[in-house]
Amino acid sequence: MSGTGSSVPERLSHAVFDVAAAAAGLPETSATMVADHRFTEDAAASARVFRVYRPTPPHTHASCDEYLYVLTGRCRMKFGDEAPVEVGPGKLVVFKRDVVHSVPEILEEPLVFLSVDTPRREPRDIRFVTEGTGTPDTFMRQPD
């Protein structure tokens, strides 16, 4: 099966998704910091591709650990009080829930990640460290 929908159909136990096509289908611009295309929405884990359009302020996610694989682009990522690290294609970034992280600088666009969140991350699960730097609605395009 070749999957192009947003999740593994309930009647099937597997699916194959075209990650490159989904990444290429992300919008060129976005009013939000991030836009994504979700492949799976299982309670145990969610998988998606997302593009970062502008630097993201320090924030956390309360509900999941994140596994981010850089598909295209390069950026500096920051975790807590540590010095920023540069990541680019082929790098896997892993961090646990409640770890403060940010993308203070995009070095090369388009910046696109393949993400696996365990367990599933609710789209509104984001807490910004500094009040006024963002909301769930300014961070990521929300489902209707």
pLDDT, tens only, 36-88: 999 998 889 999 999 999 999 999 999 999 999 999 999 999 999 999 999 99
Through-space distance between the first and last CA atoms of the chain, rounded to whole angstroms: 27
Q: Where in the sequence is the domain holding 131, given as residue range(s)? A: 19-139
The pLDDT value given to residue 142: 63
Q: CATH code at 100? A: 2.60.120.10
| pTM, two decimal places | 0.90
Residue 4 domain flag: no
Which amino acid belongs to residue 71?
L
On the 0-12 / 13-18 / 19+ scale of CB atoms within 10 A, 49 is buried
Residue 144 domain flag: no
The four Cα atoms 141, 4, 63, 101 give a dihedral, to 10 degrees, of -60
Number of domains in the chain: 1
Residue 45 domain flag: yes
